[in-house]
Structure 1
């Protein structure tokens, strides 16, 4: 276990079992885990920030070492503000690694001490994505198994 803190950031639009797989692994490796919803005013989200925050808080409640928050701006600046250098990214396949390495090149210029740690998703969650969940909801198909059960009441209240 690292005796430090890490940040796991994303849009969580919505939070999925894949995200929770990574969060659970982080909770085993770090004393403190900051799960942060990044706010990008240039991006269009399906779920409002308040709904995403409530879903994520409900899903993470079982982890005493996890705090949930939001931030805007660059991840590198947020890491510095949180006084940590560890940035965690969930990896499903080689495409994810390629994408993250390109993003890392820019971030490390802003915060040279930053370390990106890749956490492999388990085989049960490697095909889960927020995009998949949104598509299933739109098509009226069952989506519940891809969301943490604690987040379901929040999401169902919003979509009814």
Structure 2
């Protein structure tokens, strides 16, 4: 039986911190499915299809990584995909409080699911998608925070 983990998030955008969590998670799991979920409480800045393509390209050399987009409850999607683990990264104690509550609800929905937390690598801890979005929105170069280059056409949207 393969150990499959779902790494869910809005990934708006997917940062080097996210990439690091997946790369490190590959030492623990046979397969990681990066799931771009719809968060009804957030309005997306970068289109899902663009993020899905860029994330796929950044892992194109690794057949242990798949990228999907989904609607619905993460725990239900994990069950449908055959994933017994949810992989999450933690930058700080605030992240832990938030992620802990979500992991408890996921266990309620899918009793067999386990959430595995990896602590963010120290040099990547200050990076967040919201900071990257703000920098990008105001014309700053964000290349050093991302594992890919954003397409030029996004700069005009």
Unaligned residue ranges in structure 2 (runs of 5+): none
Q: Greater strand share, 1 or 2? A: 1
Q: CA deviation at 1:42?
A: 4.9
C-alpha offsets along residues 115-153 of structure 1, whole Å, 9 cap, x if unaligned?
Answer: 0000111111111111111111122222110011xx214
Number of matched residues? 156
Q: Within the alignment, does 1:159 sit opposite 2:155 as a pair?
A: yes
Instruction: Give ranges in structure 1 of 5+ residues lacking alignment.
Output: none
Superposed CA RMSD: 1.6
Partner in structure 1 of residue 12 of structure 2: 13
Who is 1:104 aligned against?
A: 103
- Shift in Å at residue 100 of structure 1? 0.5
Aligned partners of 2:97 and 2:41: how far apart in 1? 23
Name the SS of the counterpart of 1:136 in structure 2: helix
Residue 94 of structure 2 is matched in structure 1 by 95
After TM superposition, the score normalised by the length of structure 2 is 0.92
CA deviation map 1:39-82 (0-9, x unaligned) = 23553100111111112111121322101111110011011001
Q: Distance in 2 between matches of 1:132 and 1:62?
A: 28
The match for 2:129 is 130
* 1:90–1:120 Cα contact (<8 Å) kept: yes
Partner of 2:143: 144
Relative to the length of structure 1, the TM-score reads: 0.90
Matched residue, 1:119: 118
- For residue 75 of structure 1, what is the aligned residue in structure 2? 74
